[in-house]
Structure 1
Amino acid sequence: MGTYVLIASAADRDPQVATLVVGDQPVDFNLVLAGSSKLTGVVRDLEGKPVPGAVAVLTDVRGEVVTTGTTDAEGTYGFSGVRPGGYTLAVSADSYRPAAVPVEVVGTGQTRQDVELRPGARLRGTVRVRHGGPLTDARVTLLDAAGNVVGTTTTGDDGAYAFADLTGGQYTLIATGYPPVADTVTVNGRDEDDRDLWLAHTE
Structure 2
Amino acid sequence: MVGRVRGAEDVPVARAAVTLISLGGRQLGRAMSRPDGSYRLDAPGVGSYVLIASADGYRPQASTVVVGGAPLSYDILLSGTSGLLGTVRSADTKEPVGGALVVAADVRGEVIDTGVSAADGTFGFTALVPGQVTLAVTAAGYRPLALPVEVVTHGVTRTEIELASGSRLQGVVTAAGRPLNDARVTLVDAAGNVVATATTGEDGAYGFTDLDGGEYTIMATGYPPRADHLTLGSGADGHDIELSHPGE
**Structure 2 counterparts to residues 44-193 of structure 1, below 5 A:** 44-45=89-90, 46-129=92-175, 133-137=177-181, 138-144=183-189, 145-154=191-200, 156-157=202-203, 159-188=204-233, 190-193=234-237
Structure 1 residue 38 corresponds to structure 2 residue 83: yes
Counterpart CA distance in 1 for 2:54 and 2:208 is: 54
CA RMSD of aligned residues (A): 2.7
Could you tell me how far 1:73 is from its partner in structure 2?
2.1
Could you tell me how far 1:68 is from its partner in structure 2?
1.2
Q: Which amino acid aligns with 1:14?
A: Y
Q: Which amino acid aligns with 1:184?
A: H
Could you tell me how far 1:65 is from its partner in structure 2?
1.5
Could you tell me how far 1:146 is from its partner in structure 2?
3.4
Could you tell me how far 1:38 is from its partner in structure 2?
0.7
CA gap 1:8/1:122 in 2 versus in 1, 3 angstroms: closer
Consecutive unaligned residues in structure 1, runs of 5 or more: 18-32
Could you tell me how far 1:141 is from its partner in structure 2?
2.1
Counterpart CA distance in 2 for 1:4 and 1:200 is: 80
Match of 1:5 in 2: 31
Matched pairs, number: 181
Whose RCO is larger (CA < 8 A, sep 6+)? 1
Does the CA-based 8 Å contact 1:140-1:155 persist in structure 2? no
Counterpart CA distance in 2 for 1:119 and 1:185 is: 18
Q: Percent identity between the aligned chains?
A: 48
Counterpart CA distance in 2 for 1:94 and 1:55 is: 10
Larger radius of gyration: 2
Deviations 1:23-55 (A, max 9, x none): xxxxxxxxxx99842101111113122222211
Q: Which amino acid aligns with 2:140?
A: D
TM-score, normalised by the number of residues in structure 2: 0.63
Could you tell me how far 1:150 is from its partner in structure 2?
0.9
Q: Which secondary structure does the structure 2 equivalent of 1:201 belong to?
A: coil
CA gap 1:175/1:104 in 2 versus in 1, 3 angstroms: same
Counterpart CA distance in 2 for 1:175 and 1:15 is: 55
Q: Which amino acid aligns with 2:30?
A: Y
Q: Which secondary structure does the structure 2 equivalent of 1:14 belong to?
A: coil
Q: Which secondary structure does the structure 1 equivalent of 2:179 belong to?
A: coil
Could you tell me how far 1:186 is from its partner in structure 2?
2.5
CA gap 1:8/1:135 in 2 versus in 1, 3 angstroms: closer
Could you tell me how far 1:139 is from its partner in structure 2?
3.0
Consecutive unaligned residues in structure 2, runs of 5 or more: 1-27, 33-52, 62-77
Could you tell me how far 1:128 is from its partner in structure 2?
4.0
